[in-house]
Each structure stands twice: as structure tokens, then as C-alpha cells.
Structure 1
Amino acid sequence: MLTGEASAPEGVRLYAVGDTHGHLALAQELFGIIEEDLARASVAHHRIIMLGDYCDRGPDTSGLIDFLIAQASCHDMVFLLGNHDQRMLEFAEGIDEAPFNFFRYGGLETLQSYGIEPEDDAAWPAASRALSRALPASHRKFLSSLSLFHEEGGYFFAHAGVKPGVGLGNQQAKDLIWIRHEFLQHQGDFGKVVVHGHTPWDRVDIQPNRINVDTGAYESGILSCVVLEGNTIRVLQTGSKAGQVTAS
């Protein structure tokens, strides 16, 4: 099934939001845009699907997670697991196999959002214990309950993508949250249109077999969302490109 053929369930509007990476202000702005979109045109039911990577790189991972937990009481929401989210939880639990990568790829900002200031990369064991103590129970529960994928209508949602040649029901966790080039370069039909983030792009990238919603918010200041209703695709964005664009 390809874009243009895939359809959301009848009477349901789906909002799929790209990687937020600790940017609370951008998430607040985008949710305001989503609410304006709902006010302009009502729908029987809507669902917001967050595509993962809530932590690292941005300035307020802690505040963003609080915000997302609160939004779940206002909207029907699905929260997917991103590779950064998995790494953050593993770091807090002291089981990270590559702790230095946590620092190198934005973990320092995450620690700072919880009031932790490690001396240097070599201080990771102490920082791990500090994060474990500082992490609220609600945040630990949130991170531990994130889903690997979500299917709805003609769409399959995953943080990074899927492994070509493997049925959607048989995908491995590592591929769903980490895969990149093998997935991005595949031209064939995955069975459903895959909606994903993980790989920053300069725009929402709508391909025949997939839709990439990650517009690199942590660098670009543009957080994006695709709106799937019937077989139409629209784009909502923050910042200089705020508003909506109808996909051709």
C-alpha cells in the first residue's frame, strides 16, 4: 500500500508528531496549532501519535515529559519509543552498554534538565546513579511504557522505520528504533505506509512508501506533524513554516 492509497480509519483524524528532543516550547506551540486545526474542522475522533525521541539535545527533557503526560489526559495519544528514550532509561538503570554515547549525543542536556551537572564523561557512573534518583516515578513509568509501533488503517508508525523484506508483524525492536539507510533506501511497498522520524530532514519527506516527520527540531526550530484523514495528508509545523501544507 502506498501514499494516496493508504487511508486512516473512517471518522478518525491522526496527527503524527516528529522527534521533539527536549524542546518543550516547540511542543507547546505545535499542540496549540493542532488544537486550532481541530477547532477549524471538527472530527468524530482524533488521535495524536508521538514518534519518539522525547529526550536529549534540547534544553528541557524533564519539562517536555511532564507536558506530554499532561496532554494524555486531554487527547487520545500514542507514545512510541525512540532510540534516545531507550538509551536514557538504560542510562538511568545503569545498564547502558555505551554510556559515553549518552553524553555525546545530547544526554548532557537531559541530565541538566534534571538538575545534574556531571564533571566529565568519565563521571558517568555517578551521573547514572544521580539520574536514577532524580527521575520522577511518573517519568520512569512513561519511558517504560512506550510502544515500539502502532498500526492504524493503512499506516504503520515506528520511530526509525522497518526492515525491508520482514513482515510488519515480525519486526525486531532494534530495527524499529534504530534502522536507517537500509529502510530509507528501499523503494518497495512495505505493506502499509510507514510513518517515522529518527532521520532529520529539511522538510517533511513524503515518499510513495513512507513519510518522514523528523525535521530536526533541535537544530531547525521546526517541529512537524502530519495529519492523516481519509487518504489525505497535510502538514502542520512550528516556527517560520507554521501553518498547513496539503501534500500532492
Structure 2
Amino acid sequence: MRLYAIGDVHGRFDCLTTLHKMIADEIARDRPADWRIIHLGDYVDRGPQSREVLDFLARAQTADERNITLLGNHDEGMLKFLADPLDADVFIDFGGFDTAASYGVELRTMPRRELFESHRQLIEAVPEHHFALLRDMPRSVSFGDFFFCHAGIRPGTALDAQSAHDLCWIRREFLDHQQLYDKVIVHGHTPCREPETCPNRINVDTKAFATGRLTALVMEDTEKRFISTDLGT
């Protein structure tokens, strides 16, 4: 099986569609026996086209279940805001204005009645299949010797006992850990200039929303390599 693991998209619909075209061309050329495309979360916020990204992913997953979408902390923040406008810190503080704008909604936070009104408008603007996609996203998946999640795992805790919060949010304890895990952890969440390959983890978040560089780790048999877009800001 060939595996593709795609880092944080953050509203860069142009990068996502370009990378998917690159992947489709490879699959058509090489005809692997089977494949999976694993998206590691953070589809919304910061970039300009969160709506288009979610729509693309929903259609891709409906067309072929081998497209897998994992939940990121920004996606979780959007879900929490849609459920309760007073649970808005993550969404408002980390790019929610851009996400709302992609749905044609101006997010207003003050006074409180304006927050409630813009929340109502966003609820009406988000299609039901976007809600369903976000609600149904798992937080991790595993294939062979690799464990995929958005942020990372808690050292010392079994892979099947990881908390929902850590899978979407953990950073320093995970990044600083030097020992091997039961599997190699493939993650995003922490932006870096180049993909990071460590003995115990691989980070593919190359800050696409600011760089135009969306990266995928490609794995098949013993081969590991990276492919990236180069679209600029």
C-alpha cells in the first residue's frame, strides 16, 4: 500500500488541489496495488478558502473512502464555535475571521449581540455536509508501522489510550521526547521550514497558509520521500 500524509492546509485550496493533482498523476503512473491519502487536520482558518477546502475534502471522501481526513485543533475550534458562540477563543483568536469570510460572513465579536448574530449567519451559511465531515473526523489512524494524528501523542501512554485533547493539541512534551514509540508518529500542527524526519516522528506541516508550500509524506515499502507545492503567498 502507498500512503500519502498531507500537512496543515489552513484554507489554501489552491495548494490542496495542486497537491491532489500531483498525487493523482503519481497513482495513475505507478499503479500501486492500493493507496491511502491521509489529511492530518487543520483545514480551516488563516488562509482565504476554508469553505472550498472542506467542500473539496467532503467530495473527495464521498468519491473514494481511501481519502481520510483527521481532525485538527483548528477544525475542533470551528466545531466548538458553531455549537456555542461563547466557546469561541480558538476560533476567534486563530483565524476564524478568515474562515467566516470564506462563507460570506463577517465575524463580529462586540458587542455580544453582534457575536450572536454573526454566529447565526455562519450557522446558516455552513452546508450540512461540512458539519457532517467535521463531526465524523477521527483523531488518529494507523497503518503498518505508522501512526497518524494532527499534533502528536503523550509519551508513556499507549497509542490506543491517547486523549482526544493530546492528539489535536500536544506540542512540547511530544516534540522533546527522544525515545522511540511503538510506531513512528506522522503529524502536523507545528510549522517548520522543511519537513522534519526524526527517528520517532515525521512532521509535514510546512506552513502552507503563509508559504504556499503544502507537503505530503509518501511511503511505500521501505521508501520515504516528500512532495510539495510551491505556490507562494
Q: TM-score, normalised by structure 2?
A: 0.94
CA distance in 2, matches of 1:57, 1:182: 26
Q: CA deviation at 1:93?
A: 1.1
* Residue matched to 1:110: 99
The structure whose RCO (Cα within 8 Å, separation 6+) is larger is 1
1:149 aligns with 2:109: no
CA distance in 1, matches of 2:86, 2:215: 30
User: What one-letter code is carried by the residue in structure 2 that aligns with 1:59?
Assistant: P
Which sections of structure 1, spanning at least 5 residues, go unmatched? 1-11, 242-248
* Residue matched to 2:180: 189
The one of 107, 123, 137 aligned to 2:128: 137
* Residue matched to 2:230: 239
* Residue matched to 2:13: 24
* Residue matched to 1:78: 68
Q: CA deviation at 1:233?
A: 0.7
CA distance in 2, matches of 1:226, 1:162: 19
Contact 2:77 2:90 in 1 (8 A): no
Q: CA deviation at 1:203?
A: 0.8
**2:132 alignment partner, SS class:** helix
* Residue matched to 1:62: 51
Q: CA deviation at 1:74?
A: 4.3
**1:239 alignment partner, SS class:** coil
Q: CA deviation at 1:190?
A: 1.2
Contact 1:204 1:214 in 2 (8 A): yes
* Residue matched to 1:4: none
Which sections of structure 2, spanning at least 5 residues, go unmatched? none
Q: CA deviation at 1:216?
A: 0.3
**2:95 alignment partner, SS class:** helix
Q: CA deviation at 1:95?
A: 5.9
CA distance in 2, matches of 1:62, 1:119: 18
* Residue matched to 1:171: 162
Q: CA deviation at 1:100?
A: 3.9
Contact 1:49 1:78 in 2 (8 A): yes
* Residue matched to 2:35: 46
Contact 1:52 1:81 in 2 (8 A): yes
Q: TM-score, normalised by structure 1?
A: 0.88
- Report the more deviating stretch, 175-184 or 63-72: 63-72
CA distance in 2, matches of 1:26, 1:118: 25
CA deviation digits over 1:174-203, x for unaligned, max 9? Answer: 000000011001001111000000000001
Q: What is the percent sequence identity of the aligned residues?
A: 41
* Residue matched to 1:6: none
Q: Detail structure 1 runs of 4+ shifted over 4 Å in the superposition.
A: none
User: What one-letter code is carried by the residue in structure 2 that aligns with 1:201?
Assistant: C
CA deviation digits over 1:142-185, x for unaligned, max 9? Answer: 00000010011000000000000101011000000000011001
CA 1:209/1:96 → structure 2, altered by over 3 Å: closer, same or farther? farther
1:92 aligns with 2:82: yes
Q: CA deviation at 1:110?
A: 0.4
* Residue matched to 1:7: none
CA distance in 2, matches of 1:229, 1:121: 51
CA deviation digits over 1:98-145, x for unaligned, max 9? Answer: x24422211000000111013445533222222212111100000000
- State the superposition RMSD in angstroms: 1.6
